[in-house]
Amino acid sequence: MPIELVANVTLAGLLTGLVYGLMALGLSVIFGVVRVVNFAHGEMMTIAMYAAVVLFAAFRLDPFVALFPVAAAFFVFGYVLQAGLINPFITRPEHTQFMLVLAVAIIMVNGLLMAFGPDARNIPVDYALDSFIVGPLLLDTVRVYAALAAVAIAGGLFLFFKFTGTGRAIRACADNYLGAKVVGLNVKKYYALTFGIGSACVGAAGCLMVLLVDVTPLLGPGYTLLAFIIVIVGGLGSMPGALLGGVLIGVSEALAGLFFSPSAKSMFSFALLILVLLFRPQGLLGKRP
């Protein structure tokens, strides 16, 4: 097998994996702090993808530009969702949280079906079919741009949590709920803020993902599952872990398709998940409980 083929496929998997990582980052942030498993994660990303499609159709807004208003809108949406709907369920049994979020996901999918119909849509930007040639490597232009944007957003988020007062407060709430309350932090407010930030990540990821795949209303559940795999592999609550998990899944899928069978891509993602659960259940970069 030519080495250029392996290199091209690996690189494509890596670039896609970075966008996967951004998608999963939102889930990791939400779970890491609020301890709510967002089973509507993929569906939220699908809504973001449709938002990008609508903005392009109406205003010819490039998804890299639409990313900002969509992320802002998702921040507000996530904040309101957490404060208004999810907050009362924080202290309730986990299965009720699960049912609540699942119900929200089903409403989202059917709402999208009613609004947009079942047909696949995409964004035909001018550079959609371009590619960079670097020696023997052929790099898909949109994939490169999307991956760079994903890294930039993840980097910005990391800096926010590390160096800003709000970010430190959110980390405090995640590390010690009671302690945070004792020192006077408004934990409910920070939970809602965190959900908003996680949702903004999902919104941004959706704007990038729509450049890579065509969107249909039924896309959500598959990406929810993928996000969970990535977050569990990388480590629940670990931001670098989410990116690493995304890259691992992206590359493993690509190489599995190359060396074994394209139909077996998902099999290798799940195999990786099982290995991690067996030998490092906290995830590759997660902390032991």
Site for other proteins, rule CB under 8 A: 1-2, 5, 8-9, 12-13, 16, 113, 118-120, 122, 128-131, 138, 140, 212-214, 218-219, 254, 257-258, 261-263, 265
Q: How far is the CB of 153 from other proteins (least distance, A)?
A: 21
Q: How far is the CB of 110 from other proteins (least distance, A)?
A: 11
Q: How far is the CB of 20 from other proteins (least distance, A)?
A: 11
209 phi and psi angles, rounded to 5 deg: -65, -30
What ranges in the chain are assigned the alpha helix state H? 3-34, 41-59, 63-81, 94-116, 141-163, 165-175, 177-182, 187-209, 220-234, 239-259, 265-279
Give whichever of 72 and 138 is closer to other proteins, judged by the CB atom: 138
Give whichever of 5 and 85 is closer to other proteins, judged by the CB atom: 5
Q: How far is the CB of 42 from other proteins (least distance, A)?
A: 12
Q: How far is CA 12 from CA 43, 80, 142, 144, in A?
A: 25, 37, 11, 9
Give whichever of 107 and 120 is closer to other proteins, judged by the CB atom: 120
Give whichever of 9 and 83 is closer to other proteins, judged by the CB atom: 9
Handedness of CA 280, 242, 141, 74 (dihedral sign): positive
Give whichever of 240 and 257 is closer to other proteins, judged by the CB atom: 257
- Asked whether the beta carbons of 261 and 254 are under 8 A apart, the reply is no
Q: Residue 65: which residues within 8 A CB-CB, separation 6 or more?
A: none
Give whichever of 2 and 184 is closer to other proteins, judged by the CB atom: 2
Q: How far is the CB of 63 from other proteins (least distance, A)?
A: 16
Handedness of CA 154, 236, 165, 194 (dihedral sign): positive
Q: How far is the CB of 248 from other proteins (least distance, A)?
A: 16
| Count of residues making up the chain | 289
Other beta carbons within 10 angstroms of residue 109's beta carbon come to 20
Provide Rg for the chain, Cα atoms.
19
